[in-house]
Amino acid sequence: MSSVVLVERAGSVAIVTLNRPDKLNALNQELLAALYGTWSELDHDPTVLAAVLTGAGEKAFAAGGDIAAMSKMSTNEAKSFSDLGHTVLHRMESAHFPIIGAVNGFALGGGCELALACDFIYAADRARFAQPEVSLGVIPGFGGTQRLARRVGIGRARELCLTGDTIGADDALRIGLVNAVVPHAELLPTVRVLAEKIASKGPVAIAQCKRVMQRGEDVPLPVAAELEAQAFASLFGTEDQKEGMLAFLEKRAASFKGR
């Protein structure tokens, strides 16, 4: 794994840190490629049951794309850069484990889009969010025009994308962009506890729940309901289902094996 992306393992939880603090963790091709490799490696490790994504340093989660690099791009290079960003974010969404965004500071442009690819987001009280691309003469290129609307509604998303305005953590909570706001010093400890809680549940069920919710989001409700019913039924063929229900009846903690 690259030095621009750090990975720490704490049992079944992986802590993934964007590590360009001198550049406010701005997203360039090297970092995106390293991030794709990181998620691919973790997704092939069945012992990883939850992950946390955060940024190094005190100021930023990720302060957007690397403008110095982007300013020199041709049309074809910009398309390749956008494609790479979409590929990384799709890789996050298709991972077998949930990813919690721990936004510790600025999440601007591509940084906000990266957070939106997380299953949900906890923010430090000093976090700031924006899709400011129109101020640079472009638009979001890593899915911001699409994922933001799915998260906060089309009206809020249009307002943020068309004005480029920055909002604080409390406003992000109010519109549903983040799930919770906590003091900066408590962010990672809080999210670690949450990730460990998720990792203690049935791994096959967690993976199926993530998959069904994601796939069901963009199809008609009857189709989504059938996806859910099929996944629900399939879990009755797993050892985890038998252990989970037996543990409940025996009033003890379940010991899941992920199969």
Q: Which one from 113, 196, 239, 250 is the annotated catalytic residue?
A: 113
13 in a structural domain = yes
CATH number for position 207: 1.10.12.10
Q: Does the annotation count 30 as an active-site position?
A: no
Is 227 exposed, middle or buried (CB count within 10 Å of its CB: 0-12, 13-18, 19+)? Answer: middle
pLDDT of residue 2: 63
Q: Tell me how far CA of residue 129 lies from CA of 21, 27, 81, 164, 252, in angstroms.
A: 18, 15, 22, 10, 43
Mode of pairing for the β-strands spanning 5-10 and 13-18: antiparallel
Asked whether residue 194 falls in the same domain as residue 213, the answer is no
Number of domains in the chain: 2
Asked whether residue 183 falls in the same domain as residue 66, the answer is yes
CATH number for position 98: 3.90.226.10
Q: Which one from 133, 196, 226, 243 is the annotated catalytic residue?
A: 133
255 in a structural domain = no
Helices (H) and strands (E) in the chain, counts: 11, 10
Q: Does the annotation count 113 as an active-site position?
A: yes
Q: Which residues contact 195 (CB under 8 A, 6 or more apart)?
A: 13, 50, 51, 52, 100
Asked whether residue 113 falls in the same domain as residue 168, the answer is yes
Give the pLDDT of the chain (259 residues) as one tens digit per residue: 469 999 999 999 999 999 999 999 999 999 999 999 999 999 999 999 999 999 999 899 999 888 888 889 999 999 999 999 999 999 999 999 999 999 999 999 999 999 999 999 999 999 999 999 999 999 999 999 999 999 999 999 999 999 999 999 999 999 999 999 999 999 999 999 999 999 999 999 999 999 999 999 889 999 999 999 999 999 999 999 999 999 999 999 999 998 8
Asked whether residue 36 falls in the same domain as residue 161, the answer is yes
Tell me the pTM: 0.92
* Structural domain boundaries enclosing 244: 203-249
